Amino acid sequence: MQRRDFLTKSVLGGGAAVAAAGLAAPAIAQGTIEWRMVHSWPKGLPGVGVGAERLARRIETMSGGRMKINVFAAGELVPALGCMDAVMDGTAEMGHDASFYHVGKHPMLAAFFAVPFGMTSDEQAAWLLHAGGQALWDELNSQFGIISLPAGQTSAQSFGWFKKEINTPEDFQGLKIRMPGLGGEMVKKLGATPVLLPGGEIFAALQSGAVDAAEFIGPVNDLPMGFHQVVKLSYGPGVQEPGGTVQAMFNTAKFQELPADLQEIVRAACHAGHEDMKVEYDLQSGRAMETLRVEHGVEFRRLERPVLEALGKAAGEVIQESYDGGDDLTRRIWDSYLASRADTMRFLRFNEQAFLNARTLEFPFPGPQAT
């Protein structure tokens, strides 16, 4: 897929006037509940953007046509970073984006997307579904009149595209890096300046020099967004976002107006969307990575151990400062999150991490080999 295929109709900058503002209000006609979904992704973007469309269609199908979801990509109805405001004020009944875009409303919204050196995608899901994370998310969102559900997962991410080499922690000094959320606070401690940009603005920012580096999920999105046309060096692992939970947001009043069975259908559709997106990213990331490497000359490097250790130390400081300076809810969220991280990490380190290491050992094995 070429950049123009999905960016042609996207509004870069996220602040464009909305041509669709005059659209008719949602209606209930002949038994059909019609909603609007706004999302923060460029139209047709693989993974997250396509995932928003699939969620809408899944809700329609599972409801037997009792619900219809009209989907608006970034800039079509509201700016890319304006989804939460739109859901809060009723401009749209639901939204689809990353919660860390809205840390101006409460800093802990970032933790429900990803925490640097925190939990993997599976661990994050375990916390939300089985260790009290969803209840804390509900409590946090209650002050804004919204409900959030996990509706997608980016899985393991890349650290990003860099115009200069990162060989030591000192190499972050003075860099302008597109890196939102807690990951941005992490690199800030190493002397970088984090920049918040929606996905549709990153290419232009890299091209113009407005940023020196940028991360946005990983190869599945990097390839069609064309970052390789400007930068040829990509680093991993994505310690800033080891697994990003994409949220579906709902206006609480509108959600509660739904009959009980439709509420459960929406919840089930979100859960299915979460799992579907995760495994698609798992499958397609390696394929896109190979295309970038072989066909476009991109060099993929791993961050050196001293850099990882410095980033890990910085991440720990960010979390500790958030805990120490936060309100009661902030501390309860961190207590819950960190306890769940320890619980899942205990066995995963013993078993899954050891298996992944064992799988990289050199021994004869049939079929294509990862390079």
C-alpha span between 336 and 170 (Å, rounded): 33
Compute CA distances 195 → 145, 185, 213, whole Å.
Answer: 28, 10, 10
Q: Whole-model pTM?
A: 0.91
Compute CA distances 344 → 18, 113, 119, 306, 353, whole Å.
Answer: 44, 18, 9, 26, 12
pLDDT averages per 10-residue partition of the chain, 371 residues: 46 36 45 96 97 98 98 98 98 98 98 98 98 98 98 96 98 98 98 97 98 97 98 98 97 98 98 98 97 98 98 98 98 98 96 94 92 77
Q: What is the pLDDT of residue 30?
A: 55
Q: What is the pLDDT of residue 62?
A: 98
Domains of the chain, CATH where assigned: 9-153+246-283 (3.40.190.170), 160-241+292-346 (3.40.190.10)
Residue identified by tokens 């290491």 is 357
C-alpha span between 91 and 189 (Å, rounded): 38
C-alpha span between 152 and 275 (Å, rounded): 7
